[in-house]
Amino acid sequence: MATPSFLLSKYGDYWHRYQDSGDWNVVREGERHVRATLSNWGSVSVPTCVRLSAYIEKFVDLVGAQGTRVTRTKCRSRGDRVCEYDIHWTAGVTA
């Protein structure tokens, strides 16, 4: 069975099918905690970044996580160099 951290680590491969910029780095921080960083992305749009947060949340839920929460800790739309998403879930599969 795939875990959220495994699937998110493959996210960059999927990402480049539909995006022409951006590189993902995914780090497992704990049993139900992953940090995903998107660098070199061309977008600096707040709605796009918020939509991406919601997409990541649903993506993690679909692999069996429950109580998923995605927080944008850094965002290019706020002047940061990268977009960083802190992903936690409370039940279901582990990282």
Partners of 83 in the β-ladder:
38
Model pLDDT for residues 24-83, shown as the tens digit of each residue: 999 999 989 999 999 999 989 999 999 999 999 998 998 889 999 999 999 999 999 999
Domains, the chain, ordered by start:
4-92 (3.30.1380.20)
**Is the Cβ–Cβ distance between 95 and 5 less than 8 Å?**
yes
Tell me the pTM.
Answer: 0.88
**Is the Cβ–Cβ distance between 90 and 67 less than 8 Å?**
yes
Distance separating alpha carbons of residues 14 and 17, to the nearest angstrom: 6
